[in-house]
């Protein structure tokens, strides 16, 4: 009999939550079979078995948060197998033709997952007969969509990712037309904590991504003195530019949106005011400001797991098309719940696209370790005064928050004005 202890997944973290067991007592497992999904403060990770044998006992319940090194699974018939060892430079996950593996375990071919039917899958049980790949089914489950309701457009009659996302957008519009009833008695979307006997409120444990986000935001808000500025801009030429890019052959397979121009404008503005791309560092000798000569561009992403801020490494060196591809991959990875800890580390400045939620401007909190965060507001047609005449224009608001220890008001204002100038005239990017 061998016990499987919760491993260190190489993120510098000390605990993780058992989100879902994929095995039960009596199941036969091979090395690298996925036995559970765990959630740390940074990522959702599939946990492969280091042993082959029969599952004897699940030592930790789903939903429990345990420390690294805690026994979580007992496997019978694994006594003669050597205990796994982690490499000297572990990564949280690796992928090859054999499938995803965790720290210290090689790949022994395709990873076989023994999944119990998730509770949230009961609501979409009628989707069983629909033709769709496993990642598409997972996406539908995460979005709460029954695949049987989705119109398939794949060449073999299968449901594609675009089909699911299109249906989700349409469903969201109709859901917004309805106001849900107040929950009664035990009809709760979130289970009431066992210690609570009051049905007038619901208790949500603060853990995982939510706990990490809360700690980071409180630390940032009470450490860095924030200052926020904003300006309105006529983005009509940006909208025309995006339309032209979509018609170019080199962008045929890439999603092009105003966010692409906004990101490129920010990179141009950073080059003109590099202090924005800095970090405040406290050392034994005193405080220092580190001005970075590269940009790892963070994009705040709202995901089913909470707020994540993955970043595009060396975004300053990317062409317009390369940046478009990177944005598309980052967004899709976050939406699929596959953002890794490495994707979220090393950011230097962040964009939060609040426009997708219909918001015009905001005063966002700076991501720890950075000096600025810029918000892209919704682009709407509004009356705009030009030479004394009122004309219709596509108007947006550029806003942002900055660490006033590092950047003074004149540079902050110049930086925001530069972004606005590019949105007003994208031809500036050709300079």
Asked whether the beta carbons of 74 and 57 are under 8 A apart, the reply is yes
Which residue from 338, 320, 156 is spatially nearest to 238, judged by alpha carbons? 320
Residues with catalytic annotation? 404
What are the C-alpha distances in Å from 348 to residues 86, 275, 281, 299, 310? 30, 11, 13, 11, 11
Contacts for 324 with CB less than 8 Å, ≥ 6 apart: 251, 254, 255, 256, 260
Contacts for 311 with CB less than 8 Å, ≥ 6 apart: 296, 297, 298, 299, 343, 344, 346, 347, 348, 350
Sign of CA pseudo-dihedral 265, 270, 276, 282: positive
CA gap 430, 237 in Å, rounded = 14
Distance in angstroms between the alpha carbons of the first and the last residue of the chain: 68
CA gap 207, 303 in Å, rounded = 16
Q: Indicate the angle between helix axes 236-246 and 258-272, nearest 10 degrees.
A: 120
Beta strands in 212-329 (DSSP E): 226-234, 278-283, 286-291, 297-303, 306-308, 311-312
Asked whether the beta carbons of 151 and 163 are under 8 A apart, the reply is yes
Asked whether the beta carbons of 330 and 257 are under 8 A apart, the reply is no
What are the C-alpha distances in Å from 276 to residues 13, 320, 413, 426? 30, 22, 11, 21
DSSP 117: P
Strand, helix or coil for residue 368: coil
CA gap 372, 350 in Å, rounded = 7
């Amino acid at each position: 009999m061998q016990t499987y202890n919760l491993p260190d997944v190489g993120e510098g973290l000390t605990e993780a939550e058992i989100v879902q067991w994929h095995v039960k007592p009596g199941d036969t497992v091979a090395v690298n079979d996925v036995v559970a999904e765990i959630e740390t403060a940074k990522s959702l990770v599939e946990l492969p078995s280091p042993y082959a044998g029969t599952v004897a006992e699940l030592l930790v319940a789903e939903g429990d948060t345990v420390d690294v090194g805690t026994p979580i699974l007992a496997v019978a018939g694994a006594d003669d197998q050597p205990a796994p060892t982690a490499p000297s430079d572990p990564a949280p996950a690796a992928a090859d033709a054999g499938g995803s593996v965790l720290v210290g375990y090689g790949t022994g071919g395709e990873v076989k997952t023994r999944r119990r039917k998730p509770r949230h899958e009961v609501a979409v049980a009628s989707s069983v007969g629909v033709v769709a790949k496993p990642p598409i089914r997972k996406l539908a489950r995460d979005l709460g969509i029954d695949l049987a309701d989705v119109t398939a457009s794949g060449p073999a009659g299968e449901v594609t990712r675009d089909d699911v996302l299109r249906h989700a957008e349409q469903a969201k519009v109709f859901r917004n037309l309805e106001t849900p009833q107040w929950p009664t008695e035990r009809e709760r979307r979130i289970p009431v904590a066992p210690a609570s006997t009051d049905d007038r409120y619901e208790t949500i444990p603060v853990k995982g991504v939510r706990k990490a986000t809360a700690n980071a935001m409180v630390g940032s808000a009470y450490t860095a003195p924030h200052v926020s500025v904003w300006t309105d801009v006529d983005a009509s030429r940006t909208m025309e530019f995006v339309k032209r890019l979509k018609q170019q052959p080199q962008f045929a397979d890439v999603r092009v949106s105003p966010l692409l121009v906004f990101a490129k404008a920010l990179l141009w503005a950073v080059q003109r005011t590099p202090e924005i791309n800095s970090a405040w560092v406290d050392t034994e000798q005193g405080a220092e400001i580190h001005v970075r000569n590269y940009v790892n561009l963070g994009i705040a992403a709202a995901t089913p797991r909470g707020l994540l801020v993955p970043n595009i490494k060396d975004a300053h060196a990317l062409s317009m098309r390369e940046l478009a591809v990177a944005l598309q991959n980052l967004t899709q990875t976050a939406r699929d719940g596959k953002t890794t800890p490495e994707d979220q580390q090393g950011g230097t400045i962040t964009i939060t696209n609040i426009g997708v939620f219909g918001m015009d401007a905001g005063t966002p909190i700076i991501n720890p370790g950075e000096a600025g965060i810029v918000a892209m507001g919704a682009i709407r047609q509004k009356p705009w005064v030009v030479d004394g005449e009122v004309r219709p224009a596509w108007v947006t608001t550029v806003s942002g928050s900055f660490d006033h220890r590092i950047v003074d008001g004149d540079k902050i204002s110049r930086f925001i004005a530069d972004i606005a100038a590019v949105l007003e005239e994208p031809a500036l990017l050709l300079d």
